[in-house]
Amino acid sequence: MLDLSERFGICQWFHYRDHRSVERCARLMRELGLRHLRTGISWADYHRPGGQEWYARMFEILAPFEILLSVWHTPPSLSETGHCAAPPRRLRDYADFIDTVIRRHRHGFTHLELWNEPNNRYKWQFDLLDPDWSKFAEMIGAAAYWAKQCGVPTVLGGMMPVDEHWLRLMAERGVLEHIDIIAIHGFPGMWWSDRPNWDWHSHWQGWEEKLARLKPIAGERPLWITETGFSTWPCEAPGASMRSRQCGYLEAATLTPAGRTYWYSMIDLDPIRDAIEGFHVDENEYHLGLVTSRGRKKPAFHRLKLLSTTGLQHPQPQEQARTRQPIS
């Protein structure tokens, strides 16, 4: 039987002072019978007027759940370039902020994730500002060290794409010394429509293959998938039901061999907001939820509710094969 209580959770980001979305997500989590939630603190938003109070309220609403807290987004005033994806001018500022988060909000989370998708240029401008990764290594290493001194379990922000060479570099730079868990991201079947000649089947060999590539470097550290999902935006083959396909990918995500897997996301991105790439640059970013921005539950929500509350049996091998599609 499928027991999701330990191995499966939801990832949902909350915008500054969006209390309504936090409350909606909490209600939906309770309805699904799930207790693991990955969310974040924007270091930049924390520095805005009322930022500390906003996050205190977020933790209060989410108190019933076990929170994996991701901390990223450099405040523009501290950044090398004024951009949230740039390194802080003083790298130790990140460790100092991690200390602030631990002192003020330690009761609100179980694990602390240091940054998010660092090898994604939208999240860390390594190509322009940190080509040898020395700044990132110093910044995260100091933060991980201090979190360890405070007794807080640490997760290295999920790789996207999965890159064993990058992880080996982090190990060589000493970053992993105080890291407890290694995280990866992956979105099978997503973000491929602009590359029609890509050989998807040879590229995606399943979660087992991706995790196996990292195991020799991770050693005894658990490997978690802290983001995976599938958009219901109709951008694939004509006639395909994106909502039906989302159900299949969701079910496959509940069966990964990772120590824990988080589905992104619970609620679609509000169409009036910017995605990280910009305003409606990629419509997929707006349709990754199990529930629409207006509150309509998609079939995958109901499927997950069955899986989490009634303990349905694993799908048959041929059903699993159909859901494990290529990834871009």
Domains, in order of start, for the chain: 8-323 (3.20.20.80)
Residue 187: CB partners within 8 Å, gap ≥ 6? 227, 228, 229, 230, 327, 328
**CB-CB neighbours of 315 under 10 Å:** 17
Residue 192 pLDDT level (bands cut at 50, 70, 90) = low
Rg (CA), the chain: 19
Residue 198, amino acid: W
pLDDT at 314 over 90: no
Q: Rounded to whole angstroms, what are the CA distances from 239 to 130, 236, 243, 292?
A: 44, 9, 12, 21
Tracing tokens 């910044």 back to the chain, one arrives at 139
Model pLDDT, residue 1: 58
What is the average pLDDT score of the chain?
A: 89
Neighbouring-strand partners of residue 183 = 224
Residue 142: CB partners within 8 Å, gap ≥ 6? 91, 92, 94, 95
Say if residues 217 and 167 touch (Cβ distance below 8 Å): yes
DSSP letter for 81, please: S
pLDDT at 200 over 60: no
* Residues 233-284: tens digit of each pLDDT: 874 444 457 778 899 999 999 999 999 999 999 999 998 998 888 899 888 8
How far is Cα 30 from Cα 252, in angstroms, rounded to an integer? 22
Cα angle value 286/287/292 (rounded, 5°):
105
